[in-house]
Amino acid sequence: MSPRAFISLGSNLGDRRAACREALRRLSDTPGLRLLRRSGLYQTEPVGTGPMPDFFNLAAELDTALSPHKLLDACQGIERALGRTAGHLEPRPMDIDILLYGDEVVEEPTLRLPHPRLHERRFVLAPLSEIAPELRHPILGRTVREMLDLLQDGARVARLGDEC
């Protein structure tokens, strides 16, 4: 069986809904990837930045034959194809983060798995909890639902519906 990867997609520039829809389509068309499930779409306030537009976010589960590094390359290629040029503290048409890749733990300058701030982000945990509430963090040992329940931040996260 191929590894399961969980990713977060977000957009806060341009047609956010269309960007999320197109990113999912491109992921589905990527050789070595198969989209298994995705959450509904959420509108979320940006975290840790100055004023900027709200994000549209969702989470997805992938079956992948790609290594973690090749999956990162594929995600970054989709970000660029959808117009991403900005860094992580600026508005961007698409941002794709690998949250978990099986039970892998990777600590490298260009790739950290699980995502180092996964357990601190309501905008990631809420959509992820929708598709994988019992998924366990390989370092913290907590499920996604437990991490969400323990989260103290008051960040605004609103589910918009099932469709992108």
Per-residue model confidence (pLDDT) at position 86: 64
Catalytic, out of 95, 112, 136, 159? 95
Catalytic, out of 16, 38, 84, 122? 84
Per-residue model confidence (pLDDT) at position 91: 81
Clarify whether 156 is annotated catalytic: no
What type of residue sits at position 18?
Answer: A
- Give, in words, the CATH class of 4-161: alpha beta
- Extract the runs of DSSP E, i.e. beta strands, from the chain: 4-11, 33-38, 41-44, 55-64, 95-101, 106-107, 112-113, 157-161
Q: Which tokens hold the place of 57?
A: 């976010």
Per-residue model confidence (pLDDT) at position 89: 66
Catalytic, out of 92, 112, 117, 142? 92
Clarify whether 117 is annotated catalytic: no
Per-residue model confidence (pLDDT) at position 33: 97
Clarify whether 112 is annotated catalytic: no
pLDDT digit of tens for each residue in the chain (164 aa)?
A: 688 999 999 999 999 999 999 999 999 999 999 999 999 999 998 876 677 899 999 999 999 999 999 999 999 999 999 998 866 667 889 999 999 999 999 999 999 999 999 999 999 999 999 999 999 999 999 999 999 999 987 889 999 999 88
Catalytic, out of 97, 112, 122, 142? 97
Clarify whether 54 is annotated catalytic: no
